[in-house]
Amino acid sequence: MMRALILGGTADASLLAAEIARAGLDAVYSYGGRTRAPADQPLPARIGGFGGVSGLADYIRREAITRVIDATHPFAAEMSRNAIEACTQTGTPLLALERAPWTAISGDSWIEVADVSAAVAALPEAPANVFLAIGRQHIAPFASKPQHVYTLRFVDPPEAPLPFAADVIVSRGPFTFDGELEMMRAREISWIVARNSGGDGARAKIDAARMLGLPVVMISRPELPERRRVESVTEVMQWLGHSTRLGA
Ligand code: NAP
């Protein structure tokens, strides 16, 4: 019997969960538990870490999981590495659902960097209004450039004090081109720091930056070991042995 585990936390994972539920397949949706009120799923769900590679391998055995789909965010590298290792250990087929990264097009002004500390270094010395479009667990290093006025955007209001003074927008999105343009104009944003998430959902800020001629410090995705990867829900459903009505 097929029983799938979806490692979720993304819009694509939600689309996949809907399609799997519609197809009547047996599956569990796993949340990392970072967001206080995660989006509801039409599948049985579990929340929180498994306890590293061995915890995930135990879970796979205990729950008789036969397939794992890693639909986590491209920057959720620890979870993805653990999935590769636990699936190897348990002999469970693994498929990653991951959008292709964005590539710069004409009019984009990107400075591509490998990680957050390189992003801090890439910001100018002269004071600027910086939109820091990265997760809250990665913002601390920007405290070393306190001359900038930072705008942050989070899904939940911050629980703990931030490592530096910043303007915080609390919103889950979705974010539109017009909305991003308006936000950047209103705050006179002059630099943007973003991660190369790929997909349409987070793209609006990059398109707005191009329109406004603003530089974007673009953090590349972490490197992962080789794994089988597809970009659409349709391909995941085919891998599970089901066709789909979605054109995604
Ligand atoms: P991460 O650094 O790769 O993961 C850290 C630990 O969190 C993992 O080792 C695992 O703990 C646990 N974990 C992560 N995702 C999990 C999942 N789907 N189910 C169960 N445990 C999970 O991940 P992250 O960057 O903190 O992201 C956490 C979650 O938020 C993911 O589900 C991801 O898809 C979602 N998300 C992340 C981003 C982002 O920017 N990183 C953006 C949107 C959504 P154990 O080792 O104990 O198993």
- Residue ranges covered by each domain of the chain: 4-100+224-239, 110-219
Q: How far is the CA of 80 from the centre of ligand 1 (A)?
A: 8
Q: How far is the CA of 73 from the centre of ligand 1 (A)?
A: 8
Average pLDDT over residues 149-173: 92
Which of 84, 88, 62, 67 lies closest to 3 in space, CA to CA?
67
Mind listing the pLDDT tens digit for each residue in 105-160?
A: 999 999 999 999 999 999 999 999 999 999 888 999 999 999 999 999 998 898 88
Alpha carbon nearest to ligand 1 atom 22, residue: 32
Domain 4-100+224-239 sits in which CATH superfamily? Answer: NAD(P)-binding Rossmann-like Domain (3.40.50.720)
- Give yes or no for residue 9 CB within 6 A of ligand 1: yes
Average pLDDT over residues 48-54: 97
Is the CB of residue 223 less than 8 Å from the CB of residue 216? Answer: no
- Give yes or no for residue 38 CB within 6 A of ligand 1: no
Q: How far is the CA of 218 from the centre of ligand 1 (A)?
A: 21
Torsion of CA 142, 105, 209, 71, to 10 degrees: -60
Residue 42 DSSP SS3: coil
Which of 78, 52, 50 lies closest to 62 in space, CA to CA?
50
Q: Which atom of ligand 1 is nearest to the CA of 197?
A: 40
Determine how many CB atoms are found less than 10 A away from the CB of residue 88.
14
Does the pLDDT value for residue 3 go beyond 60? yes
DSSP notation for 92-149 = --EEEE-PPPP---TT--EEEESSHHHHHHHS-SS--EEEEES-GGG-GGGGG-TTSE
Nearest-5° Cα angle at 196, 240 to 92:
25
Is the CB of residue 194 less than 8 Å from the CB of residue 113? Answer: no
**Radius of gyration from C-alpha coordinates of the chain:** 19
- Give yes or no for residue 50 CB within 6 A of ligand 1: yes
Q: How far is the CA of 187 from the centre of ligand 1 (A)?
A: 31
Q: Which atom of ligand 1 is nearest to the CA of 13?
A: 34
**Is 110-219 the same fold as 4-100+224-239?**
yes
Is the CB of residue 231 less than 8 Å from the CB of residue 100? Answer: yes
Considering the segment(s) 110-219 as one domain, its CATH architecture is 3-Layer(aba) Sandwich (3.40)
Average pLDDT over residues 63-85: 97
Instruction: Classify burial at 195, counting beta carbons within 10 Å of its beta carbon; exposed 0-12, middle 13-18, buried 19 or more.
Output: buried
Q: How far is the CA of 78 from the centre of ligand 1 (A)?
A: 7
Does the pLDDT value for residue 177 go beyond 70? yes
Residue 134 DSSP SS3: coil
What is the spatial distance between Cα 114 and Cα 38, in angstroms, rounded to a whole number? 29
What pLDDT score was predicted for residue 57? 98
- Give yes or no for residue 148 CB within 6 A of ligand 1: no
Q: pTM of whole model > 0.75? A: yes
